[in-house]
Amino acid sequence: MDDFLVIDRITKSFGTQRAVDDVTLTVGQGEAFSLLGPSGCGKTTLLRMIAGFESPDRGRILLGGQDIAALPPEQRPVNTVFQNYALFPHLSVWENVAFGLRMSRRPKEEIRSGVDRMLELVRLKEHARKRPAQLSGGQRQRVAIARALVNRPQVLLLDEPLAALDLKLRQHMLMELNTIHEQVGTTFIYVTHDQGEAMSLSSRIAVMNAGRVEQVDSPENLYETPRSSFVASFIGDANFFNGVAVELQHEGYVRVMVEGLGSPLVQSNGAVSSNRAMRIMVRPEKISLTLSRPQSGERVNAFPGVVEDVAYFGSHTRYRVRSGEHSVLAQMQRSRFSGGGIDPVRGTEVWMSFHPDEGRVVRLEADA
What confidence tens digit (pLDDT) does each residue in 51-102 have?
A: 999 999 999 999 999 999 999 998 999 999 887 778 889 999 999 999 988 8
Q: Which domain holds residue 243?
A: 237-367
Are residues 350 and 269 part of one domain? Answer: yes
pLDDT tens-place string over residues 281-293: 999 999 989 888 8
| pLDDT tens-place string over residues 125-180 | 899 999 999 988 888 888 888 888 888 899 999 988 887 777 787 888 888 888 88
pLDDT above 90 coverage of the chain, percent: 52
Residues 282 and 200 in one domain: no
Reduced to 3 states (helix: H, G, I; strand: E, B; else coil), residue 153 is coil
Lowest-confidence region among 94-108, 144-158, 188-202, 335-349: 335-349
pLDDT per position as a tens digit, 34-51: 999 999 999 999 999 999
pTM of the model: 0.87
Produce one character per residue of 209-235: b if its CB has 16 or more CB atoms within 10 Å, e if not.
Answer: bebbbbbbbebeebbebbbbbbbbebb
Pairing of β 32-36 and β 187-192: parallel
Residue 240 backbone dihedrals phi, psi, to 5 degrees:
-120, 135
- What is the CATH classification number for the domain harbouring 20? 3.40.50.300
105 Rama class: left (phi>0) / alpha (psi -120 to 50) / beta? left
Mean pLDDT value across residues 15-21 = 94
- CB-based contacts of 51: which residues, under 8 Å, 6+ apart? 73, 76, 78, 80, 157
**CB 273, CB 245: distance < 8 Å:** yes
pLDDT at 320: 96
Averaged over 220-237, what is the pLDDT? 93
Query: Which residues, in sequence order, are bridge partners of residue 14?
Result: 17
153 and 9 together in one domain: yes
* Alpha carbon distances (Å) from 103 to 100, 142, 200, 344: 5, 21, 34, 65
Q: Indicate if 196 and 255 belong to the same structural domain.
A: no
Indicate if 62 and 177 belong to the same structural domain: yes
CATH number for the domain spanning 344: value is: 2.40.50.100
Last residue in a domain, options 200, 233, 266: 233
- pLDDT tens across 306-318, in order? 999 999 887 888 9
pLDDT at 173 (0 to 100):
81
Rounded-to-integer distance, Cα 258 and Cα 35, Å: 34
Boundary (domain end) residue, out of 214, 233, 252: 233
- In angstroms, the CA 60 to CA 159 distance is 21
Q: Clarify whether residues 166 and 313 are in a common domain.
A: no
How confident is residue 277, by pLDDT bands cut at 50, 70 and 90? confident
Mean pLDDT value across the chain: 88
Q: Where is average pLDDT lowest: 46-60, 211-225, 339-353? A: 339-353
The pLDDT value recorded for residue 254 is 86
pLDDT of residue 217 exceeding 80, the answer is: yes
Residues 180 and 285 in one domain: no
Strands 277-282 and 239-248: antiparallel
State the alpha helices, DSSP H only, in the chain. 43-51, 93-103, 108-121, 137-149, 167-184, 195-201, 219-224, 229-234
Segment 119-129 shows an average pLDDT of 89
Q: Are residues 173 and 36 in the same domain?
A: yes
Same domain for 351 and 328: yes
> Which residues on neighbouring strands pair with residue 302, listed in sequence order?
353
Query: What pLDDT is attached to residue 16?
Result: 92
d(CA 118, CA 104): 17
- How far is the CA of 253 from the CAs of 87, 235, 271, in angstroms? 58, 26, 9
How far apart, in whole angstroms, are the C-alpha atoms of residue 306 and residue 317?
A: 16
Q: Are residues 182 and 113 in the same domain?
A: yes
Answer with the one of 205, 233, 261 that is the final residue of a domain. 233
Residues 265 and 290 in one domain: yes
Contact 187, 155 (CB under 8 A): yes
Q: Are residues 188 and 337 both part of a single domain?
A: no
Output the pLDDT for position 274: 67
Number of domains in the chain: 2
